[in-house]
């Protein structure tokens, strides 16, 4: 891998993202693709959604730089298309799941390297499909405050770029740099005062891309725990929230604001503080796991349990904050049924 390969991926991603975002903002505003505040919304004025169009276009342009990374454009584009349809017209949950499963199976089939037996390839495709659908939805569920998903995608891209160097998987490094570059172009438009939201096109697209990169890394002999590390916080928060709501007899698809990061904002933390908090937690977990990934199994297992401990502390943090404040956390509904996570405007 040469520095020129990295530049030919990162530069187009940065330029296209920065150039397209104000254009997308104008187009979405003109087309009235807006999140209108309601009793379930957490923002106070109408805000355009669909900013992920520019992010997805930026990432796709960057991925064209290397032949081996072009396969990642497929899950990026397919999941983004499903999200765009949801942003523009709305798609029922069953139809969304069918379309996502189809997108995941196509991506999974393309990701399987040549030389696998028919049975091995089939099992890999099934597992990849389930993973891609699950992670894309987890990423969508977690896209609920200003800057959080772009920041998480940027961090994941950096971690994957490092893993590509450590394990000599050049396409992973290039794709990681591209993911980070595309994500960072959205932060000026959303991290402070949200002028536009990613929308489902952005959250599904980025979720599909990062999920596919995880599969790509594992199939190229990068340890599973290392590939999952930068995605672990989103997985843990989504998984634990679904388990807790199921135990309480709640329908998983109903509107809610009970993710750990949402509970922190309900307790008075700013969006920027919560986003920074999640990035620090995710960075710490990634650093621990990646550093130990070449160690002997006992060390890897020990570090793995330590990482789980950090995640458990993150999930418990809202309860500790509430106890410290001496009051119960407010329960406010948000738009969970539609799959769009509303981002408040500051």
Please spell the DSSP secondary structure of 269-308, one letter per residue.
--HHHHHHHHHHHHHHHHHHHHHHTTS-HHHHHHHHHHHH
29-33, 174-178, 234-238: which range is least confident on average?
A: 29-33
Q: Is the pLDDT of residue 345 over 70?
A: no
Residue 43's pLDDT band, with cuts at 50, 70 and 90, is low
CB 329 within 8 A of CB 256: no
Confidence of residue 1 (pLDDT cuts 50, 70, 90): low
**Sorting pLDDT into bands at 50, 70 and 90, what band is 5?**
low
Q: What percent of the chain has pLDDT over 90?
A: 77
Is the whole-model pTM more than 0.75?
A: yes
Helix, strand, coil percentages, rounded to 5, for the chain:
70, 0, 25
- Whether the per-residue pLDDT at 328 is higher than 80: the answer is no
Q: Could you report the per-residue pLDDT of 68-104, keeping only the tens digit for each?
A: 999 999 999 999 999 999 999 999 999 999 999 999 9
- Give 178's contacts (C-beta < 8 A, 6+ positions apart): 9, 10, 13, 59, 62, 63, 65, 69, 157
What confidence tier does 2 reach under pLDDT thresholds 50, 70, 90? low
**In a 10 Å sphere around its CB, with 0-12 CB exposed, 13-18 middle and 19+ buried, how is residue 300 labelled?**
middle
Cα atoms in the 13 Å half-sphere on the side-chain side of 78: 27
What pLDDT does 63 receive?
96
Handedness of CA 49, 55, 60, 61 (dihedral sign): positive
The domain ranges of the chain are 1-35+48-222, 224-325
d(CA 72, CA 228): 17
**Residue 326's pLDDT is what?**
72
């Amino acid at each position: 891998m040469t520095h020129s390969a990295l530049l030919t991926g990162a530069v187009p991603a940065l330029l296209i993202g920065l150039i397209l975002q104000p254009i997308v903002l104008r187009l979405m505003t003109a087309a009235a693709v807006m999140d209108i505040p309601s009793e379930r919304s957490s923002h106070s004025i109408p805000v355009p959604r669909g900013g992920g169009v520019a992010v997805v276009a930026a990432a796709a342009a960057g991925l064209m730089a290397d032949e081996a990374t072009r396969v990642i454009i497929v899950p990026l584009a397919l999941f983004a298309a499903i999200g765009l349809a949801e942003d523009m017209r709305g798609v029922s949950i069953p139809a969304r799941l069918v379309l996502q499963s189809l997108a995941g199976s196509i991506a999974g089939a393309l990701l399987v390297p040549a030389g696998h037996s028919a049975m091995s390839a089939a099992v890999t495709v099934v597992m990849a499909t389930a993973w891609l659908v699950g992670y894309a939805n987890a990423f969508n569920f977690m896209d609920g405050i200003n800057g959080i998903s772009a920041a998480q995608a940027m961090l994941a891209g950096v971690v994957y770029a490092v893993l590509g160097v450590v394990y000599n998987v050049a396409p992973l490094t290039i794709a990681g740099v591209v993911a980070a570059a595309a994500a960072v172009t959205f932060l000026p438009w959303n991290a402070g005062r949200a002028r536009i939201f990613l929308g489902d096109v952005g959250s599904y697209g980025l979720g599909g891309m990062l999920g596919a990169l995880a599969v790509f890394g594992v199939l190229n002999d990068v340890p599973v725990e290392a590939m999952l590390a930068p995605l672990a916080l989103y997985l843990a928060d989504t998984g634990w929230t679904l388990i807790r709501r199921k135990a309480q007899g709640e329908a998983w698809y109903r509107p809610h604001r009970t993710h750990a990061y949402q509970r922190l904002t309900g307790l008075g933390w700013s969006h920027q503080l919560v986003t920074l908090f999640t990035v620090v937690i995710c960075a710490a977990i990634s650093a621990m796991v990646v550093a130990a990934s070449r160690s002997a199994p006992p060390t890897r297992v020990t570090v793995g349990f330590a990482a789980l401990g950090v995640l458990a502390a993150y999930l418990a943090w809202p309860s500790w904050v509430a106890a410290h404040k001496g009051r119960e956390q407010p329960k406010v509904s948000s738009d969970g049924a539609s799959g769009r996570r509303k981002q408040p405007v500051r």
